[in-house]
Amino acid sequence: MKIITAIIKPFKLDEVREAMTEIGAHGMTATEVKGYGRQKGHAEIYRGAEYIVSFLPKIKIEVALPDALVDRALEAIRLAAYTGHIGDGKIFVSPLERAMRIRTGETDSDAL
């Protein structure tokens, strides 16, 4: 099992969700986050007081998947979240040791 963590542009969330449903991934957690990468930040000016805002709003999604789906999921997220402009985000994949569905007590792949 793997957990995919992706940082995407906020307005791309719905497209990513649809793409993940199409490949058969059921369930996703989305969080509003702030961060910076190559896009860096922007300047805000209030009556001449200039503030550099280096943390931009992004959405972080987390999806737990069986190993077999990971490659397709990577491609699906990339295509759905793509705009071609700087700041499109990043996808991380990490190993997932165990999982359990709280309602039934099913474990690991059955719980995904």
Residues at the site binding other proteins, with contacts judged by CB under 8 A: 44-49, 51, 53
Rank residues 46 and 98 by Cβ distance to other proteins and give the closer one. Answer: 46
Rank residues 32 and 71 by Cβ distance to other proteins and give the closer one. Answer: 32
**Does residue 83 contact residue 9 with C-beta atoms inside 8 Å?**
yes
**Residue 52, φ and ψ in degrees, nearest 5:** -90, 115
Three-state SS string across 43-78, please?
EEEECCEEEEECCEEEEEEEEEECHHHHHHHHHHHH
Rank residues 48 and 84 by Cβ distance to other proteins and give the closer one. Answer: 48
Rank residues 38 and 46 by Cβ distance to other proteins and give the closer one. Answer: 46
Please count the other Cβ atoms lying within 10 Å of the Cβ belonging to residue 8: 25
Closest CB 46 distance from other proteins, rounded Å: 6
Closest CB 11 distance from other proteins, rounded Å: 20
Closest CB 31 distance from other proteins, rounded Å: 15
Q: How would you classify the pairing of strands 2-8 and 89-95?
A: antiparallel
